[in-house]
Structure 1
Amino acid sequence: MTSITTIASPLDINTKVDVKNRLFKSAMSEQLADAQNAPTEKLIRLYRAWAQGGAGLLVTGNVMVDRNALGEPRNVVLDELSDLAKFKLWAEASSENGTQVWMQLNHPGKQVPSFLSKAPVAPSAVPLAGGMESAFACPRALTETEILEIIKRFAWVSARAKECGFTGVQIHSAHGYLVNQFLSPHQNRRDDQWGGNLENRMRFLLEIYRAIRAAVGNDFPVGVKLNSADFQKGGFDETDSIEVIKVLQEEGIDLVEISGGNYETPSMVGDGVSESTLKREAYFLDYAEKAQKIMSVPLVVTGGFRSAAAMNGAIQTGAADMIGLARPLALDPALPNKLIADDAHAMQLPKLSTGIKALDTLAMLEITWYEHQLERIGKGKQPKPKLSTWISVLKTFCSLGTVAFQKRRA
């Protein structure tokens, strides 16, 4: 009798590393660093709750490789000024209960609010659109010297993550951040070796991967979060994405997580997703089924999963090797244990809106409302699924106002 693979089944990441089950906590914005952008007790408590909640692998919220390039005020930063003892405590709490914990590495590129930077950087000087123009300054194009320095930063941070006890790293190459900007022909309009055809546009990601691998060795897991598509006219598309995966596998990548969209087209939170896709639960499952035809490493599909039945279905059909969960874990840290214990278990997320679409967009409600839930867990409280969207928006703007004032005073 052959055993049936389910979300409860273990998975070999490589010859040295295995994960106890197929549930993968995908990265979320936490906003729980301190004023020096170091991990706080709230952040450590949050990850301990997730580790005890039963997920096989936790990926941290994006850890920025440059404290002068923050996507949000309270991003965690790992650099020469960081207190590594705090990172070791974070890794220790996150790896309780036999849990793998990987640090997600990121640079925001131009996705930096203007109150944090009036001069963000990007592959090319292409401003954000889609109603984001007032909140994000137009970037300047990076020089080649700056590009090479950022690549070195990714490698240095990876080595420190390994030193601190994290069991892997993930390169954030999705959601419109810097690596994704290099991949996109819409965002990247360079005419040097870093832009133009796909070979050149993927060069930044490949050089980051190669530098990381040289820094951490062959056995330490290195994954990538990659857009299936940007869902943006002239942007990174499915054909490009498949080709990038092929090259990354040849280079030795250990795991690929699939998502999609960016700040302008936020498909990763279900914006613009068709009704038929919503019924299947996974936003990017159609793409995953295409990708699996060429996959030789584990594939994680993140976005839209809400029931154990759909998750097990995706695993059993081979569409996904792991199931990525993000926002559901902000409302129930113990969800993995419940999904594994009961194959009929499911949860639904609330529909969030103040009733004023422009305000929802400006406050990034689909992100910040969940950040407030994570803060509650970090304080040792239970999540509050009925938290008022107006209260969440008010908290967001009060927080941003305080940060902006502190920045001016500095």
Structure 2
Amino acid sequence: MARHPHHRTRGHPVTIPAPAPDPLAPATLGPVRLRNRVIKSATFEGATPDALVTDRLIEYHTAVGRGGVGMTTVAYIAVAPEGRTERGQLHWRPEALPGLRRLTEAVHATGAKVSAQIGHAGPVANSRSNGLPSLASSARFNPLAMGFDRAATHDDIRRIVHAHGWAAASARDVGFDAVEVHLGHTYLAGSFLSPKLNRRRDEFGGSLRNRADFPRRILAAVRESVGDDVAVIAKMNMADGVRGGFDLDESIPFAQMLQADGHLDALELTGGSSLLNPMYLFRGDVPLSAMAAAQPPLLRLGMKLFGRFLFHDYPFEPLYFRDLALQFRRELSMPLILLGGVTDLDGMRTAMDDGFEYVAMARALLREPDLINKIQRDGTARSQCTHCNLCAASIFTGTHCPLDIEGSTTLVNAGTRPVAQ
């Protein structure tokens, strides 16, 4: 947040607001020096069919690195095998580390920094695909796998907390500059925070302080594992967008807990539930037919019959999370990352004027990986993304913008084979 130095006039202090930082100038995030304040946010790449780094995954991130971002975020690397959203997803294990080192070295060669998003999908995991039982804060039916999530036991909680610490240390060791801990979108940690999903009667259920204990333990383990060697970021929901879910009355106090704990270098503010209301995050068109066509037959039928009840219509508008995020900015002093509808330099400057330290971009960079370089050359340049969200239908076959034929072809031709280990 901008500092306000005091000057004296005739014996009275006068507060003069410091100028907002230039979003395209170098900045510091914890121990990391970034070339600008633009972060490529985590978006599932669909580029790891064998749960190993591929040439395609490397190209996905080096493209935005060459395109000028300050840091790109690899999404999403599960801390445990059952924590994957599906079996092709990267997860932390020794055989994945050489490929991840290749990736970090390639991104660094572009001049950008690179972050690893770590977490456990919990009820968003497809147990049928993974071949492992899925976990949640409380037992519930999981339509993704047409089965039931198992309530995480105390042993599960201890194991998963430890796994986050090991994953963070591994990320540091293979060259990541930051780790982003996923606490949002009703993944496992988010399902503990949600009063709608968490119906436990033990010390991890009930009050906000009880429901917050598991994610706070995770962040403590991550910081203990990496010290000050890398930046530690948490991605958390401001609101689930679901009646009875995690909302501002609890999310702001939770963020204040995280600030007081002191484990974070920045907090990335998001919203929506991958499980219950995904379009709250995305905004824009709902390409239900295209998303259904990308699913296995049973899920395809379910989406056609019931998709309209899950995928709600939220029109796109620039900086669509701004009003929610400003309420956090007023209550917190820690660095905050604003995402949601950042598409041009004017939006970035508005975020800086509001007191946010960084901005995160996703679909705009999927459409144009070199958008930041374009903005550097021409401050009036803006994203060509139409917010059609057809990219969401491509995530299991290689995430790309279907409107960018040349870019899509380049990524496909990069291949999905694992890199040499």
Quickly say closer, same or farther: Cα 1:83–1:109, change in 2 above 3 A.
closer
CA offsets, 1:63-122, max 9 Å, x none?
011123320232111124x24221110111122333221110021101123531573111
For residue 310 of structure 1, what is the aligned residue in structure 2?
347
Q: Distance in 2 between matches of 1:331 and 1:248?
A: 34
Q: TM-score w.r.t. structure 1 length? A: 0.82
For residue 58 of structure 2, what is the aligned residue in structure 1?
44
For residue 127 of structure 1, what is the aligned residue in structure 2?
141
For residue 362 of structure 1, what is the aligned residue in structure 2?
none
Q: CA deviation at 1:258?
A: 0.7
For residue 194 of structure 1, what is the aligned residue in structure 2?
204
Q: Secondary structure at the match of 2:84?
A: coil
- Asked if 2 retains the 8 angstrom alpha-carbon contact of 1:156 and 1:215, the reply is yes
TM alignment of 1:24-63, pairs within 5 A? 24-35=39-50, 37-63=51-77
- % same residue: 29
For residue 388 of structure 1, what is the aligned residue in structure 2?
none
For 1:142, the aligned partner's letter is A
Q: CA deviation at 1:336?
A: 1.5
User: Where does the alignment leave 5 or more consecutive residues of structure 1 unmatched?
Assistant: 354-364, 385-410
Q: Secondary structure at the match of 2:81?
A: coil
Q: CA deviation at 1:372?
A: 5.3
Q: Secondary structure at the match of 2:223?
A: helix
Q: Which has the larger radius of gyration?
A: 2
TM alignment of 1:320-335, pairs within 5 A? 320-335=356-371
Q: Does 1:369 align with 2:385?
A: no
Q: Distance in 1 between matches of 2:401 and 2:240?
A: 32
Q: Does 1:95 align with 2:108?
A: yes
- Asked if 1 retains the 8 angstrom alpha-carbon contact of 2:391 and 2:400, the reply is no
Aligned length: 363
Q: Distance in 2 between matches of 1:316 and 1:69?
A: 38
CA offsets, 1:304-327, max 9 Å, x none?
222222222222232x22111111
Q: TM-score w.r.t. structure 2 length? A: 0.80
For residue 322 of structure 2, what is the aligned residue in structure 1?
285
Quickly say closer, same or farther: Cα 1:118–1:301, change in 2 above 3 A.
same
TM alignment of 1:208-223, pairs within 5 A? 208-223=218-233
Q: CA deviation at 1:339?
A: 2.2
For 2:372, the aligned partner's letter is P
- Asked if 1 retains the 8 angstrom alpha-carbon contact of 2:82 and 2:133, the reply is no
Q: Secondary structure at the match of 2:117?
A: strand
Q: Does 1:341 align with 2:341?
A: no
TM alignment of 1:143-154, pairs within 5 A? 143-154=153-164
For residue 7 of structure 1, what is the aligned residue in structure 2?
23
Q: Distance in 1 between matches of 2:358 and 2:87?
A: 31
Q: Distance in 2 between matches of 1:68 and 1:219?
A: 28
Q: Distance in 2 between matches of 1:191 and 1:201?
A: 11
For residue 79 of structure 2, what is the aligned residue in structure 1?
65
Quickly say closer, same or farther: Cα 1:64–1:90, change in 2 above 3 A.
same
CA offsets, 1:218-257, max 9 Å, x none?
3421110001110111111112111121111122211100
For 1:262, the aligned partner's letter is S
- Asked if 2 retains the 8 angstrom alpha-carbon contact of 1:257 and 1:300, the reply is yes
TM alignment of 1:155-234, pairs within 5 A? 155-234=165-244
Larger mean CA deviation between 334-343 and 180-189 belongs to: 334-343
Q: CA deviation at 1:370?
A: 5.8
Q: CA deviation at 1:376?
A: 8.6
Q: CA deviation at 1:346?
A: 1.2
Q: Distance in 2 between matches of 1:127 and 1:335?
A: 42
Q: CA deviation at 1:375?
A: 5.9
CA offsets, 1:308-359, max 9 Å, x none?
22222222232x2211111121111111111233221112433548xxxxxx
Q: CA deviation at 1:143?
A: 0.8
Q: Distance in 2 between matches of 1:74 and 1:341?
A: 38
Q: Distance in 1 between matches of 2:322 and 2:227?
A: 32
Quickly say closer, same or farther: Cα 1:30–1:195, change in 2 above 3 A.
same
- Asked if 2 retains the 8 angstrom alpha-carbon contact of 1:113 and 1:136, the reply is no
* Higher fraction of strand: 2
Larger mean CA deviation between 157-166 and 69-78 belongs to: 69-78
For residue 267 of structure 2, what is the aligned residue in structure 1?
256
For 1:62, the aligned partner's letter is Y
CA offsets, 1:363-386, max 9 Å, x none?
xx6523366564699xx95137xx
What root-mean-square deviation, in Å, do the aligned CA atoms of Structure 1 and Structure 2 show? Answer: 2.7
TM alignment of 1:232-247, pairs within 5 A? 232-247=242-257
- Asked if 1 retains the 8 angstrom alpha-carbon contact of 2:37 and 2:357, the reply is yes
Q: Secondary structure at the match of 2:128?
A: coil
User: Of 240, 265, 277, which aligns to 1:265?
Assistant: 277
Q: Distance in 2 between matches of 1:220 and 1:335?
A: 27
